[in-house]
Structure 1
């Protein structure tokens, strides 16, 4: 189990805004996604009674911990009757969730046998996911659980954005052609305590049409790419966190793109964000890595004329060359004293 950093969970909540409806996590661990969802509701003065929680956890000990975690916070939720594998013992088979928040196991191997789950309804319209990696099985499982207007935000290893192994590329292409990919975010490294695997956030939605109630514009045929790899602050020698300001900026970019007036007008920003069409994604071989789309950041002009910069740099270079010559002579003299002269 990869413990999900609080800043990453907070970002997912700020992106999908789980105010009203059913929240689902198919690999809920100790229930951190649910706790953060309710913190989001409380901080935005929402009503907890408008949310219903559904989850599932494979490990019995962690399943019990999740139930306790919800209970001590006065949160009611349906985590299934027992601990169970979401692929082989789906305890919410008929669920259609308005929000999905998840951090599935990264690059999970041998999650099914060669002949198991071949005809599962969750793969309808796609390809059967490979046995060697469950990334796309998790994606299709979550797509199958989304309501008509539902949105899913989840963490996956970066390889999921470009892999073609075991037919993953063909599955990704169909997901893109069905216009389900809403936003892709490349995250900075060193966010996780338990793994050094670089990760990204996927946001999947069943409906990119205009939504006047939520203030969303029509974004059919478009996907937003955000490269947040340069964000975050080191909080220790080996660990980084997204700051409150980072989270707010990323969420503001997304909501402005979706059309919410309070977040201003959206504009592409070189090196950071890009609204790409399906044709542009197709031209990039259906790879979803944000760096492919956002380009390089523009260098800020510091106002110093080129001639002045060049003169200063040249003077510095000549000075360094003179120092190097002095050092070379000193080294040569020392070598001669030691009997190693030419």
Structure 2
């Protein structure tokens, strides 16, 4: 998914940011320095994005061929004070920034302001500046670096209503040497959020995911609960095509599925305004990050009133979404404290206390609209386990014809867990209809598609595997072709570039519900797709068998001869063999 150059850039960025975090490690506990560093990274990013647009706007204002051209002759020439004042005024017009979906950053929240003034207040000196943000001239005083940062965050919240109460304004209260905060500001100032081929918002997303994983490990938690590989998110989004309607993630993390939905819509010339975003997250920091992630992208969202447990405090009880996508924590235990056995969400059976896999699945189904579809990343055990009612729930889901496609994934995809995973795709309507992107879906009742993608992908380093875009397209196209075209009978050819569907041994298989019943309702793709067909070399089987048997006899005879010769040589050396 990323080039070597891009990956090296991201690796260098990670090292620099973790060096910044280490500056606070001996002073603050992990939970505190997580908020401290991530808050500053957010400020740096929005400032960088603002500065990029500001430079672009200045060039447009000085370009006589551009609609925004500010003619110096109207103000006494390019060197006149009047022209310079007017240019400075135009550069502060908010609409110029919001029209390009650039996050508006007030002057006192910009990184340059923090960097220019942080050393003034170190040691207790007071900084006073003229401030007219409320329309009245007044003097604002700052007594510490923490005060400067908290003020920046307060001003951003005041100017961006969706972030009200989201940003952590805790810097004034930190028991930390102010000089260390100043050093941290100078270090983060060297962190670039620009790259010739990487989108700056994606760089920020990568930074947050990396830092969350590292902080989680420092706090003794499973870092993997925060991170879904980008290629897996892209695969689920490509297959579901959340082009229009309500999109919901009940375990949203920092909002990766919503970001990929934005990319999908942009690539298909759609409008992000035609999608409504709903999410829920239990972890307070991650909930805040998701809100920031959406705000900087200009995406409207509803993440509930507060971070909350999806099972005991559903933030969207009446939501029926067109698309539901999630990567919840794998095999979560003790999830059901305070949850009733007769909860209306358990339509297909009560999930066991020791594993939340089928609780997540049924929660998502409960919030799915009549024509909705969902994609859920789960541990492989969910496809075959029969313990504690899981087998019975899976059987019920199959009998109700809700399962549409199962995708087995290769190992080593996740940074902080080696648990093998799969993707469940379910829908409440397998009947003939038109998808959100205009594809004509055929009647697929009584059929399930199995895709074994375990052999796809490449090792991007010594421990991690990733998918190429070609891999993602292969899986996606197989799914979409199957949705739209009845499987060809075995033996029928398929022309180059055709969009028909045909089973491919070792990769994909369209199975009837009767076949699933014969396999005791186990949904592991390997059971259905079989072994990959070997290339026919033209040699008849009987002749090949006779030739290989003859070769084997010759090799056995040679082995016996060599063994006898070795024994004879050892005996000559006085060894008892």
TM above 0.5, one fold?
yes
Offset at 1:233? 1.2
Distance in 1, matches of 2:303 and 2:383, equals 30
- CA spacing shift, 1:283–1:328, aligned 2, 3 Å: closer
Question: What is residue 254 of structure 1 aligned with on the other side?
Answer: 479
Offset at 1:338? 4.1
Write out the 4+ residue segments of structure 1 that deviate beyond 3 Å after TM superposition: 260-263, 304-334
Offset at 1:141? 0.2
Offset at 1:143? 0.1
Aligned with 2:410 (options 171, 181, 188): 188
Distance in 2, matches of 1:81 and 1:337, equals 88
For the pair 1:36 / 2:254, whether they are aligned, the reply is no
Range with greater deviation from structure 2 (260-269 or 125-134): 260-269
CA contact 1:2–1:103 (8 Å) conserved in 2 = no
Question: What is residue 231 of structure 1 aligned with on the other side?
Answer: 456
Distance in 2, matches of 1:168 and 1:306, equals 45
Structure 2 matches for 1:48-127, cutoff 5 A? 48-113=272-337, 116-123=339-346, 125-127=347-349
Larger gyration radius, structure 1 or structure 2: 2
CA contact 1:189–1:196 (8 Å) conserved in 2 = yes
Structure 2 matches for 1:323-334, cutoff 5 A? 324=559, 327-328=562-563, 331-332=566-567, 334=569
CA contact 2:485–2:501 (8 Å) conserved in 1 = no
Distance in 1, matches of 2:516 and 2:273, equals 40
CA contact 1:225–1:290 (8 Å) conserved in 2 = yes
Structure 2 matches for 1:1-342, cutoff 5 A? 1-113=225-337, 116-123=339-346, 125-212=347-434, 213-259=438-484, 264-304=499-539, 313=548, 320=555, 324=559, 327-328=562-563, 331-332=566-567, 334-336=569-571, 338-342=573-577
- CA spacing shift, 1:281–1:227, aligned 2, 3 Å: same
Secondary structure in 2 aligned to 1:52? strand
Distance in 1, matches of 2:226 and 2:406, equals 20
Distance in 2, matches of 1:222 and 1:137, equals 24
Question: What is residue 68 of structure 2 aligned with on the other side?
Answer: none
Higher RCO (CA-CA < 8 Å; seq separation 6+)? 1
Secondary structure in 2 aligned to 1:151? strand
CA contact 2:410–2:453 (8 Å) conserved in 1 = yes
Distance in 2, matches of 1:310 and 1:295, equals 23
Secondary structure in 1 aligned to 2:286? helix
Range with greater deviation from structure 2 (103-112 or 227-236): 227-236
Offset at 1:326? 6.5
Flag the structure with higher helix content: 2
Secondary structure in 2 aligned to 1:300? coil
Offset at 1:332? 3.2
Flag the structure with higher strand content: 1
Range with greater deviation from structure 2 (257-266 or 64-73): 257-266
Structure 1 unaligned residues grouped into runs of 5+:
none
Offset at 1:104? 1.0
Distance in 2, matches of 1:218 and 1:322, equals 61
CA contact 1:215–1:259 (8 Å) conserved in 2 = yes
Secondary structure in 2 aligned to 1:122? coil
Distance in 2, matches of 1:209 and 1:8, equals 27
Distance in 2, matches of 1:291 and 1:81, equals 43
Distance in 1, matches of 2:553 and 2:341, equals 70
Aligned pair count?
A: 340
Offset at 1:101? 1.0
Secondary structure in 1 aligned to 2:476? helix
CA contact 1:215–1:260 (8 Å) conserved in 2 = no
Offset at 1:310? 6.1
Secondary structure in 1 aligned to 2:426? strand
Cα RMSD of the aligned pairs, angstroms, is 2.3
1:115-170: CA deviations, max 9, x gaps? 732221111x3221111110000000000011111100110001111111111111
Distance in 2, matches of 1:57 and 1:329, equals 71
CA contact 1:2–1:195 (8 Å) conserved in 2 = no
Offset at 1:208? 0.6
Offset at 1:304? 4.2
CA contact 2:226–2:254 (8 Å) conserved in 1 = no
Offset at 1:172? 1.2
Secondary structure in 2 aligned to 1:303? coil
Q: Normalization by structure 1: what TM-score?
A: 0.92
CA contact 2:412–2:464 (8 Å) conserved in 1 = yes
1:6-28: CA deviations, max 9, x gaps? 11111101100111011110000
